[in-house]
Structure 1
Amino acid sequence: MKDIMDKLSLDQQITLDDIPELDLYMDQVIQLFEKKYDDAKRNEDEKILTKTMINNYAKGKLFYPIKNKKYSKEHIILISLIYQLKGALSINDIKKTLDGINHRIMEDQLDIDEFYNRFLQIIGKNAEGFKEDVLRKEEVVEQAVQTMSSGKDDELEQILLIASLVNMSNYYRRTAEKLVDQLAEKE
């Protein structure tokens, strides 16, 4: 399990130091994301970010309009947030979640660098807690399988662990969706 968690590259995040101060063209944004998250891909064919994805985010108004076909540091931060959110939330939920941030950025009412640094700190702590939690779940599953059968059964353990992790993922996703709904109600 430790090998699997290492392969997840949970510590790989786009930091403020990774984002150039000057605006980037779409291809440069894609290169930045591909380079940073390459180790996190499930297989070689997986795309981290594509032109179509970015265009869809723009059409869906997930971030405020770009200027002169270039993406600012703030846009890249927003695209990074979208990248993190898209694994669990629908595009509509991501839009609802980021609407307030987009508005605050355009009104110059948010220090987006500080906000993003806080986000990175939180997900760093989340990664530590996640690793500990998965190892605890692995122990619980091993004990459960041993008590139901005549000893160790790697396949049953793996299936139960998969089911347990997916179950927890669903709990987290559903909780996040309820929070998105609260945001939408406030607006």
Structure 2
Amino acid sequence: MDDKIKQLGLDKIIPLDDMPNIDLYMDQVIQLFENTYGETKRSEDEKILTKTMINNYAKGKVFFPIQNKKYSKEHLILLSLIYQLKGALSINDIKLTLEGLNSQSKDMSIEDFYTSYLQLFEASIERFYEDFAQKTADVKQVANHKDSDYLEKALLITTLVSTSNFYRRAAEKLIDELGES
């Protein structure tokens, strides 16, 4: 199972150094995301980022307006954050979460925020591997008397999803607090 977890490409993210300092057209943005996250797709049909997605984020004001049909480094950072958040949060929750970064009166630059995020992201990956190994061991212990690969996988799946839901619900609570302030 460890090899399968390593194959998930959890460490795939666009580092700040890989984001060009020149503005990109939409097709170039999509290509950057495909090149970075392409191997993390569950199936070949899955899309990492599409023109429709980007246009919907723009219409929903999830990021600040583009200039001359080009996306700046700050847009790329916000799109990277949106990509990471969209698996667990609604677009409205993402918009509220990123609202402070999109505003003109920021306490922290978008690049500084992303640098901090990347540090926490890397630490989270390491903790995930440790936690996954512990959950796998816990499942084996609980299912020890039953000789069933299916049972172990089903127990691990339900445990992982439950844990994911705990974190999502905690994030939603924090988002609700952001909305109140």
TM range (shorter): over 0.9
- Partner residue of 1:60? 60
Structure 1 unaligned blocks of 5 or more:
none
Check if 1:126 corresponds to 2:124: yes
Distance in 2 separating the partners of 1:99 and 1:179: 14
What are the residue-to-residue correspondences of 1:26-37 with 2, within 5 Å?
26-37=26-37
What are the residue-to-residue correspondences of 1:26-175 with 2, within 5 Å?
26-103=26-103, 106-107=104-105, 109-147=107-145, 149=146, 152-175=147-170
The answer to whether the 8 A contact 2:100-2:106 is kept is no
Distance in 2 separating the partners of 1:28 and 1:21: 13
Q: Deviations over 1:122-175 (max 9, x none)?
A: 01000000011011100100111114x3xx311100000000000000000000
Count of aligned pairs: 181
Distance in 1 separating the partners of 2:108 and 2:131: 34
Residue identity matched to 2:151: L
1:110 Cα shift?
Answer: 2.9
Give me the identity figure in percent: 60
When the two structures are superposed, what TM-score results if normalisation uses the length of structure 2? Answer: 0.97
When the two structures are superposed, what TM-score results if normalisation uses the length of structure 1? Answer: 0.94
- Partner residue of 1:184? 179
Structure 2 unaligned blocks of 5 or more:
none
Distance in 2 separating the partners of 1:91 and 1:12: 22
1:3 Cα shift?
Answer: 1.3
Q: Deviations over 1:57-109 (max 9, x none)?
A: 00000000000000000000000000011010000100111111100xx3465
Residue identity matched to 1:61: K
